Amino acid sequence: MMKLLNDWKLIILLCLTLGLAPFFPEPHLLGKIRWIAGGAVAMAFKDWLDVVFHGLPFVLLIRLIFIKLTQKDAA
């Protein structure tokens, strides 16, 4: 399981597909973030779950970048 969570190719693929889908008229996650920034008026529980679902690949990417930057050099 950890091997999948540390795979750059998989995480980037998830960000570009699941994280941004549907792409038109704007990426879904971007619309949800704008909605939250506007006060999240009339946002239902399913909308919050949608934010988590589409945002998870980016959280994994940030986690992976943080791990790589803070990892001590093995050499």
How far is 24 from 22, CA to CA, in rounded Å? Answer: 6
9-37: per-residue pLDDT in tens? 999 999 999 888 887 888 888 988 999 99
Q: Rounded mean pLDDT of the chain? A: 87
- Is residue 23 one of the residues assigned to a domain? no
Token output for 16:
């570009």
User: Which residues, other chains included, contact 54 with Cβ-Cβ below 8 Å and sequence gap of 6+?
Assistant: 18, 19, 20, 21, 28, 29, 32
- Is residue 8 one of the residues assigned to a domain? no
- Is residue 48 one of the residues assigned to a domain? yes
- Is residue 66 one of the residues assigned to a domain? yes
In the chain, the percentage of residues whose pLDDT exceeds 90 is: 47
Whole-prediction pTM? 0.80
Cα–Cα nearest to 68, from 8, 23, 4: 8
pLDDT of residue 66: 93
Measured at the CA of 14, the angle between CA 6 and CA 11, to 5 degrees, comes to: 15
Overall domain count for the chain: 1
Domain extent for 54: 44-75
